[in-house]
Structure 1
């Protein structure tokens, strides 16, 4: 069998992945874009290359033997962004799960490890594939070594062999070192010879072969200036070549045998993918169809009911209402299960729903019911014409409050936290994906009964834990009541003016056609606007716009490049607009039309109450929290959201700067508190402080930057993150953050104090005792610890803001009922509540809604609510 060694330049690929992909987060808030990109590349390599040996080489530290030769080596490089640094420990975990050797060597670079292993592998008859984002490694190419350099994205590579290097540069692989010696390398701060670029260097090397031969033959060099530069900087040329040379004999502490690859650890990879939220990658893994859990389950006694009798029902029961589909609106109910003092019973759907006795029991508020995911059960039954009452315990919500980072996919995943193993996972019973199916009745019945029994068994343990954590009132007074309100909102849905939405689609199509014609006219020809290659030719070859960034396939036409080019030609703004409208059309207009319920002409979004670690609600199917509103055409999509009754209006009320107000309260900062109590514009106030100017001198640019700093502080932003947001240098961004803390010392004190508290307790809490555990807060790894510290600062602010709006929803629903108003809450979007109401009630709502929302929780600063209303959601803004 052919021996094949794959060597990966770990730091280089991680960097490439980080900057190629947007900043992704998993549900714990950890950045994952570099790991995701790295994993995609890894999966592609394993599939295509089928290596027998494998290694990922990392740089060991900032200094290497090259720094002794040239102190400024790599001196121009910026500090690694913390958003990337925090991903390296998880990258090591990934490689461990894949059973791939990760190796670093003090005083040497990853390149030297790779170069040395290449030399050894060639002697042993291996075929070698090197993967990096750094073209320096092309010098290693040989008859048996191919070097793949990433270009567009992370999985698209360009392969270098001696033949391709000859074809591209007219050089041998070894001459790549001479090329660097002459032209230098800005990324590694290799100086090269001043005045000699790639073109001149290639010409000289084709004539003289090496740097040494060139320097010995200066009398034959044509061009006075080039010759002078080479004479004056002879030492620099030789030094640069030395710095660019990859070692082939580094003193490695490993052998080729250590790099042997025998496949990954499936369980570890699957567990890590789940932790990181890589659901799309999970689908590509060879996961077993069903786990052999049944062998570990203790026997359980139950009956299958063919009719419902009084003896099956009790004053207190655990209840399962089983729906398999993720979108449970109008989804079929597979069956019911009860566990109570009278025993365990499975009731088939037709038996249950045709029984008046069972229906009365469901709707009896005196009959207490413990469930898993109350909202799901309530909504499913509402579609069956049943209004379930009496729910006093929800295992999903209880588990989520006790630790929001634990998996709450099904009863089994929650039960595992308490070492309760007498229940199977849903996936093991139903399968997953295309192979998902409902089993025969005996298997289904036992599974549902086991789930009901688990809820009954675990209920008191969870209640005890909530009480011990001072979270029982958070459970009973906030989250459980909210479940019922969210169920009402989901079932009610939001009316969509389908015709208006279609009209908007047609209007967008017309706009796209007009912009397309304008672009063709400005370009002087027709071309495929959606093709980066064709667009690059038009912009940079034909219109001669300055080239901002190049890729191996041509010119970059990414959004950030186009934004920089906008001042140079009016075609650029048109192209940006064209792209934005295209996304609106496909993602939002067509996307919304797909999910409008055919019977109701409404969208029935699903609010996820037990997902985020901060306590924020999210929504899916459709995601109504993500409709773009920065672009006017995006805002117009809200015109399609209308009241469900004639002569009604949409009424929207949102908290103004709630997170900054929460920060002022928690940090107890006098300057911040004073600003809010005096109703000052907080961004103007911050601009005055960090720029040391009077109110009159604050420009719109200063206010914009101050706003980014204000909200950035809330999110624990780093200087790198702020620099990206404002398109400024990291030094300037760090300066802004420093000046902010000088202006608001209470905020700085709070951040220092909360980190210390988190280290002592292992968690942080919100104003209403919602917890977030931070096991990494005492990690020895600086990057892992730093991320946990930023999370400690941010969670009490975000989480308390989430608590406040949830409390406001409960209080508002209660007041609307008390005052016998017909108005009802439709949506919660970030810090905004959207209602629909009869026009006759609007005047009452303009007083009642702000009053309720502003007094949901009393803070040191006033809460402020803005409201608007109109015939559509668009008009209510």
Structure 2
């Protein structure tokens, strides 16, 4: 039996955008609306199992309704670019699902759905309409149910004619009359001023329709009579505007609505680009490059040999002619990864060394080869392999080429550069994905020895085939110098830092934890006093009931579980009640306790007394490093309690010091250099406070006239420009109107015309070349820069503007790390580089090298790359990381 589902695309996308927290993928694309839309679709598919499905969209701003009323929808705010850029992505996602989508110039999505529901009524087909717009209730019938989103997009309230009658005392057709009387501010439909839903329902219960209300105006009294008499035409027009047109010319649409399921490989590819990893796992979709069936192992063109089967001379001869190496360290955290073995191809043979053999006597020549810095190693994710081997007491030296690192440089927006995917990209025989060999998650299992050895050999052979192709591409793309002089040496530097680790004083952390517990307890008690009752502060549902029902605070938005109590909502409520500030501080303290105190205590290595983070070089499209296991880049420092966590990070040697140096406003200095803007350059050359200088120029005042709000606004727009901020984003940051935010941005560009010129020129260049580069030639391709779709093109343009700035800043601190490591080695210093945290480098330094390091570190950092404005690094030191700030 047929079942149709018709979805109001614009309405659901809007609901999802505002209901979901901000989400972006590593390419910087906003994805919260796409994610919310997708989860709603999955729920519908699982629960309803439709035979036909369609998502309707508005085709443009002008419809036939504007012909009779030019101000229709005129009061609507411009769609935020953070949302508009997601519409083409939503449509691409629908294609991957195999779901029909439709839009028609001159009509709205409502009209398309209205026409299809008329057809459904005629054919007596069960139909569900999904929307956030109450207008759709007029379409309800014995065959058509309206599902209105009520809590974000995950929960809906269903209405058939009986439900509408029970809730409003109206028929579906009278919903049009309801809107005719009360109007709709969101669509700029006037209705009768002063008539709200309650009054409109009362009138309709008595008279039935707009026309009958107007015919009985004489029966009305007082101001109500005056309002109705004065706005009769508004009421008639409003009813007309609210009426969904159900005669849209749709030809053969029923056939196009047929839904027969999705292609797993296509959906996996889309989700992978969007980085919806949880949805890939939820639907058990195949790994990239694997195809719908998970890929087929290639036919081997080599013989597998084992170390124990070779003489020492034969084994050493094979290793001396090694073409690549593949080291299988299974698990995300390399400090805890399970080493399964390795494989080394040489001519028509591949040496496979399982873990047990590597660790016993037969594996000694292989271990020696791995540690030989004169024996070149070309492999895949050798950074991770280096760490996994180190914990087993095995050195890895002589790494010269890493396929994963090269793949990242060649396409930094690709989030899953597996060997399977890379072989697929270069049209080489596919390698079986790991999941097909080991299973996934809790189902992970090391296979039998024959299967394992075959898999390792195939991967090593794949590396051998990929290396020359990637070397060619790096050279043709002008990134060979970036690879060999920056990224490859940096991988070795990072591995050294990670193996070294940073010592954490467990007692200091525990003391801080005890203090936090006392503070949490005090805040909890104060919150209960203000609330007049005890409740679970950590429960959004209970907190919402206390704030919005018991205390009567204004509810800003709702979620699928009730009232929203997220940070944005609470910050806006702060002026209304003292309890809000207490709750915000309570949350901060509980997060510090659970995530950073308790979390760090769990990460301290029992043998070393240190935490050993893992720096990922191949995650961020901008070139930034990413810290994991634990993430030491996210330790909060806005709160004093957060900053105090750094007290626990101490030198690993007695009487040594922690020294920290961080770049001052590096991205704005890069912007000054790249744009050539004279005012920006002047500020940095004269060592002025850049935010004060910006406020002076934008507001046209002297330095002494710049107040706190002016500087705060200038700071927000300075950093916002670097990250491609919109008027929507700036208005949220400064809590001002979008109109004021847009005006401020325009004033900024009027003053800093060199910045405007740079942004215009870089977009033109990107459109011409298809990519942008950093000062060190890091490249980012922007295929959407020539897209006909405005939203896709706009996103690519913003990326073109900010990538050279952010990417160059990332390159500079990486370059400083490589050069600093060289200085430490050349000068034979005992000082050690321990951490990189955004624009900061952290060292542990013996007392007799302190004076030298205080000069050397900033010298190296400030001379890492020559710019038209000076780079500046501030240095501090102390007995712990806290004092070094």
1:757 aligns with 2:759: no
Aligned mates of 1:671, 1:782 — CA distance in 2 = 33
Q: Is the 8 A contact 2:424 2:430 kept in 1?
A: no
Where does residue 349 of structure 2 map in the other structure?
343
1:679 aligns with 2:687: yes
Which of 255, 262, 265 is equivalent to 2:263? Answer: 265
Closer, same or farther: CA 493–739 of 1 in aligned 2, 3 Å: same
Where does residue 6 of structure 1 map in the other structure?
5
Q: Is the 8 A contact 2:300 2:458 kept in 1?
A: no
Where does residue 104 of structure 1 map in the other structure?
103
Query: Post-superposition shift, 1:98?
Result: 1.0
Aligned mates of 1:639, 1:647 — CA distance in 2 = 16
Aligned mates of 2:411, 2:215 — CA distance in 1 = 71
Q: Alignment partner of 2:320: what SS?
A: coil
Unpaired runs of 5+ in structure 2?
none
1:127 aligns with 2:126: yes
Aligned mates of 2:587, 2:562 — CA distance in 1 = 20
1:302 aligns with 2:304: yes
Where does residue 387 of structure 1 map in the other structure?
395
Where does residue 205 of structure 1 map in the other structure?
204
1:813 aligns with 2:821: yes
Where does residue 42 of structure 1 map in the other structure?
41
Aligned mates of 1:423, 1:96 — CA distance in 2 = 28
Which of 279, 282, 297 is equivalent to 2:280? Answer: 282
337-346 vs 733-742, greater mean Cα deviation: 337-346
Closer, same or farther: CA 422–235 of 1 in aligned 2, 3 Å: closer
Query: Post-superposition shift, 1:256?
Result: 2.6
1:62 aligns with 2:68: no
Where does residue 255 of structure 1 map in the other structure?
253
Matches within 5 A, 1:278-427: 278-287=276-285, 291=293, 293-294=295-296, 296-306=298-308, 309-314=315-320, 316-341=322-347, 343-354=349-360, 355-406=363-414, 409-421=417-429, 423-427=431-435
Closer, same or farther: CA 586–133 of 1 in aligned 2, 3 Å: farther
Q: Alignment partner of 2:325: what SS?
A: strand
Closer, same or farther: CA 169–508 of 1 in aligned 2, 3 Å: farther
Count of aligned residue pairs for this structure pair: 875
Q: Alignment partner of 2:303: what SS?
A: coil
Q: Is the 8 A contact 1:20 1:154 kept in 2?
A: yes
Aligned mates of 2:654, 2:597 — CA distance in 1 = 24
Which of 623, 647, 664 is equivalent to 1:615? Answer: 623
Q: Alignment partner of 1:151: what SS?
A: strand
Query: Post-superposition shift, 1:499?
Result: 3.2
1:441 aligns with 2:454: no
Aligned mates of 1:693, 1:192 — CA distance in 2 = 48
Where does residue 196 of structure 1 map in the other structure?
195
Aligned mates of 2:198, 2:101 — CA distance in 1 = 38
Query: Post-superposition shift, 1:645?
Result: 2.4
Aligned mates of 2:57, 2:3 — CA distance in 1 = 20
Aligned mates of 1:656, 1:254 — CA distance in 2 = 63
Query: Post-superposition shift, 1:315?
Result: 5.2
Matches within 5 A, 1:430-579: 430-546=438-554, 548-549=556-557, 556-579=564-587
Aligned mates of 1:772, 1:98 — CA distance in 2 = 29
43-52 vs 395-404, greater mean Cα deviation: 395-404
Aligned mates of 1:547, 1:326 — CA distance in 2 = 42
Q: Alignment partner of 1:68: what SS?
A: helix
Query: Post-superposition shift, 1:462?
Result: 2.2
Query: Post-superposition shift, 1:552?
Result: 9.0
Query: Post-superposition shift, 1:442?
Result: 1.5
Which of 763, 768, 779 is equivalent to 1:771? Answer: 779
Closer, same or farther: CA 502–174 of 1 in aligned 2, 3 Å: farther
Closer, same or farther: CA 752–500 of 1 in aligned 2, 3 Å: same
Aligned mates of 1:863, 1:751 — CA distance in 2 = 22
Closer, same or farther: CA 399–562 of 1 in aligned 2, 3 Å: closer
Where does residue 661 of structure 2 map in the other structure?
653
Query: Post-superposition shift, 1:296?
Result: 4.4
Q: Is the 8 A contact 2:97 2:263 kept in 1?
A: yes
Q: Is the 8 A contact 2:821 2:833 kept in 1?
A: yes
Query: Post-superposition shift, 1:342?
Result: 7.4
Q: Deviations over 1:599-626 (max 9, x none)?
A: 3332222111112211111112222212
Which of 228, 233, 236 is equivalent to 1:235? Answer: 233
Q: Alignment partner of 1:600: what SS?
A: coil
Aligned mates of 1:202, 1:451 — CA distance in 2 = 70
Q: Alignment partner of 2:308: what SS?
A: coil
Aligned mates of 1:779, 1:849 — CA distance in 2 = 46
Q: Is the 8 A contact 1:825 1:835 kept in 2?
A: yes
Q: Is the 8 A contact 1:324 1:334 kept in 2?
A: yes
Query: Post-superposition shift, 1:546?
Result: 4.6
Matches within 5 A, 1:75-224: 75-221=74-220, 223-224=221-222
Query: Post-superposition shift, 1:295?
Result: 5.7
Q: Alignment partner of 2:830: what SS?
A: coil
Query: Post-superposition shift, 1:103?
Result: 0.9
Unpaired runs of 5+ in structure 1?
none
Query: Post-superposition shift, 1:292?
Result: 5.5
Q: Is the 8 A contact 1:143 1:161 kept in 2?
A: yes
Aligned mates of 1:252, 1:825 — CA distance in 2 = 67
Q: Deviations over 1:278-332 (max 9, x none)?
A: 0000011143698463364354322123256323320554112211111121433
Aligned mates of 1:589, 1:164 — CA distance in 2 = 52
Q: Is the 8 A contact 1:399 1:408 kept in 2?
A: no
Q: Deviations over 1:109-143 (max 9, x none)?
A: 11111112112112212111111111221222233
Q: Alignment partner of 1:339: what SS?
A: strand
Query: Post-superposition shift, 1:553?
Result: 7.5
Q: Alignment partner of 1:772: what SS?
A: strand
Query: Post-superposition shift, 1:43?
Result: 0.4
The alignment's TM-score, normalised by the length of structure 1, stands at 0.96
Where does residue 866 of structure 2 map in the other structure?
858
Q: Is the 8 A contact 1:762 1:774 kept in 2?
A: yes
Q: Is the 8 A contact 1:407 1:414 kept in 2?
A: no
CA RMSD of aligned residues (A): 2.1
Q: Deviations over 1:333-360 (max 9, x none)?
A: 2112111247321122232233332222
Closer, same or farther: CA 538–28 of 1 in aligned 2, 3 Å: closer
Q: Is the 8 A contact 2:820 2:857 kept in 1?
A: yes
712-721 vs 480-489, greater mean Cα deviation: 712-721
Query: Post-superposition shift, 1:556?
Result: 4.5
Q: Is the 8 A contact 1:662 1:800 kept in 2?
A: yes
Aligned mates of 1:826, 1:394 — CA distance in 2 = 23
Where does residue 602 of structure 2 map in the other structure?
594
Aligned mates of 1:214, 1:408 — CA distance in 2 = 63
Q: Alignment partner of 1:56: what SS?
A: strand
Aligned mates of 2:395, 2:564 — CA distance in 1 = 57
Q: Alignment partner of 1:462: what SS?
A: helix
Matches within 5 A, 1:606-645: 606-645=614-653
Where does residue 30 of structure 1 map in the other structure?
29
Aligned mates of 2:639, 2:580 — CA distance in 1 = 17
Closer, same or farther: CA 385–554 of 1 in aligned 2, 3 Å: closer
Closer, same or farther: CA 86–546 of 1 in aligned 2, 3 Å: closer
166-175 vs 150-159, greater mean Cα deviation: 166-175
254-263 vs 825-834, greater mean Cα deviation: 254-263
Q: Is the 8 A contact 1:129 1:147 kept in 2?
A: yes
